[in-house]
Amino acid sequence: MVLACADPTRAHGWINTAILKAYTNLHHLGFAHSVEVFCDDELVGGLYGVRIKGLFAGESMFHRAPDASKVALVHLVSSLRESEGHLLDGQWLTPHLESLGATALPRSRYLQLLAAALR
């Protein structure tokens, strides 16, 4: 999943070998998770990030088929709701995430939600 998000043609790409190694280690420790979307056995989209208790901190999304990353995000939100996930952190508010319902929070509110998620 990390390699799929590390498309070298993306402008301002930040996913490099160090990120790949870090997320591989986090996965082995049980903290890094991905949501993958397949069509006929082909990976067509998804996302990955770190889950700690009720927090999921998203790192990156990608799609090779229309709306595949959106399908992954909807599944993640549903899964978090079912498992007492309290906070989905998308790092920054992009027009894409905003179109899916993401909102920016004041720092004080974010810290309240983060504390609750980590209890």
Q: Reply yes or no on whether the pLDDT at 8 is more than 80.
A: no
Whose structure tokens read 């952190």?
89
Amino acid 34: pLDDT: 95
- The class that CATH gives domain 2-118 is alpha beta
Amino acid 59: pLDDT: 92
Q: Reply yes or no on whether the pLDDT at 7 is more than 80.
A: no
Tens-digit pLDDT profile for residues 12-63: 777 888 999 999 999 999 999 999 999 999 999 999 999 999 999 999 988 9
Amino acid 84: pLDDT: 76
Q: Which two tokens stand for residue 39?
A: 């069509």
Tens-digit pLDDT profile for residues 60-95: 988 999 999 999 999 999 999 898 778 999 988 988
Sheet of 42-52: strand order equals 32-39, 42-52, 55-63, 87-89
Element (H, E) at 49: strand 42-52
